[in-house]
Every structure is written in structure tokens, then in C-alpha cells.
Amino acid sequence: MSKRPLRILVIKLGAFGDFFLAQTAFAAIRRHHADDRVTLLTLPSLAPLARMSGLFDEVLEDPRDRSLSAYLAIRKTLRAHRFDRVYDLQAQTRTDLYHRLLFPGPWPEWSGTASGASHPDRYEGRRKVPVRERYVRQLAPFGIVPDETPDLSWLDADISRFCLPERFALLVPGSSPGRPDKRWPVRRYAEVAAALADRGIVPVVIGTGIERDLARSIAEYCPQAVDLTDRTGVPELGGLARRAWGAAGNDTGPTHLIAAVGCPTVVVFSDASNPIHSTGPRVLIHHRPDFNDIDSAGVVEALDRAREKGGA
């Protein structure tokens, strides 16, 4: 008599960049549960990407509403699916509560930081551990081992409409609106753009509409710069990253996506954020305590070194 496939839930409600930092864990869980039904609970904005990845049999959406009705809806969903095991990769206060919402039981096996979890993942300094290392530690009790770098071969798009030359580099001068402290000064990005243009490499600025002023400032300093802010969807961003000469950007979601695709990438960090969270086969962390201590020449030199990783 054949064994029933397990019903597996993966929870990841994090922001755009966190979704791509979790790709190695997603893929490892999928491999381990190749014959089981794997469901992802994620944000509505990330659900289309999760479906595109092909890693999940089902994708559920959680808007993270704090109303009582929203929590009751999550409870109803969790109980209705009767999951056998939950990998809570978000592992924060909200998702800890999801474990308690299953009262009075029965509870599935639960990997995460929730009190009463069958496989607790609580330890001092957990949030200071690099993302991949954190997932390696959390998934080890199940014999699940994430790869060193993610496979984002599913993320690509035709970029011909942008009419870019063969040699171009991506610049990501923005960050989430609430974290302007993560932004290396735009004048430094303008200097990097000019240095790249002097080499015959066209600088391409990407971001959302709120970064248009940053792109304009870079173009004023370096007229060769191309402004693609607010013109790229996520698949197109993957297509650009797959074909770019290199990229430099702040600690923000698009930069982490670009690095995860495999583009030679320099991520510029100050002490405003933790310089341990980026993944990709050709990524370099360029960190100084203060952004004032990071000059453009150092970032350009780091780009050359990133290109040397794994062959240029």
C-alpha cells in the first residue's frame, strides 16, 4: 500500500529581497519533498513570482492584515489544509501566532520560533546569522541542505525593447522609502556611472517611480546613463541581470535579485544595515561603517573583482 503524500506548508511573508534570499531554502524543501504536496504562504505581491518559479504545488496569499477577521481567516485556512509539517521561514511574532491559532489542535510538525514548535529554531543571535546559514541550521534536523547559491533559471524575459548595447551595467541607487539610510549617496553612483561610461559600458539605472529623481541626477552627471526606472517588471529585471556586464546597488530587493540571478554584483553597505544578507555566485559585499568612507573608485574596483568570480 503506497504512503499518502505529505501536506507541506512553507511560510515566507518577507519583503521582495527576502523572497529571493530564501530561494535556496525553497528549492531544497522542494527536492526533499519531491513526492509530497508543497504549499507556500506568502504576500499577494510575491505570489505571482512564487507560481512562476514552479517550486510549489499551491500558493496561498496572506496580506498580513492585523484585523481579527484576517487572523480568523488564516486560522480557517491552516486548519482546512490539515498540513503535516510547516517550515516557518519567516519565524517572526506574526507567524509564531499562527502556530497558536491552531488551538486546540491537532498541530502539525512545526519548524520555527513558535513556542511549542516540534522543531524549535530559537537561539541567541538568530537574526545576526547570514540568511543561508540560518536556513541551513533550521532545516538540518530534516536532512534538508540548501544549495550555496540559488537557481533562478526560471526568471527571465525578453529585454530587446530597451535597445541596450551588448555591454551595460545596472545601478540600483534607491531603497525602500522607509530606509533612506541604506542609500549610498547618489553623487557616488553618478561617479560610478561616469567611470563605466569611460570604459564603453553603458550605465543603466533601475528602480521604481520614486527613484526617478535619483536617475535624473545620475544622467545629469553622466549623459550616457539610461533611465529604466519604473519601466521593468520583475521578469524583465531578471532578464537584464542575466545579460548585464555587472551591477552595483544598495541593500535593497532589486540588488539581491540581480545578485541571485548570477550577475557580478557589488552590494554597498554601511552600518545602517547588516552586511551579511546577499547571495549569488558572483556577489561581493562592499562594507564600511559609514557611507562617507566609500568612494566610487573602490566600488568600480570591487565590480572588477566580482566579475573575476567564476570567470568573466
Q: What is the pLDDT of residues 213-254, one digit of tens each?
A: 999 999 999 999 999 999 999 999 999 999 999 999 999 999
Percent residues over pLDDT 90 in the chain: 86
Q: What is the pLDDT of residues 178-210, one digit of tens each?
A: 899 999 999 999 999 999 999 999 999 999 999
Q: Are 182 and 251 in contact (CB under 8 A)?
A: yes
Q: Provide the pLDDT for residue 312.
A: 46
Given a cut of 80, whether residue 58 has pLDDT beyond it is yes
Domains along the chain with CATH numbers: 7-142 (3.40.50.2000), 160-309 (3.40.50.2000)
Q: What is the pLDDT of residues 20-51, one digit of tens each?
A: 889 999 999 999 999 999 999 999 999 999 99
Q: How far is CA 102 from CA 7, 11, 97, 108, 117, in A?
A: 16, 15, 9, 9, 12
Q: Provide the pLDDT for residue 2.
A: 60
What pTM did the predictor assign? Answer: 0.87
Q: Provide the pLDDT for residue 178.
A: 87
Q: What is the pLDDT of residues 103-138, one digit of tens each?
A: 999 999 999 999 999 999 999 988 888 888 999 999
* Between 59 and 177, the higher pLDDT residue: 59
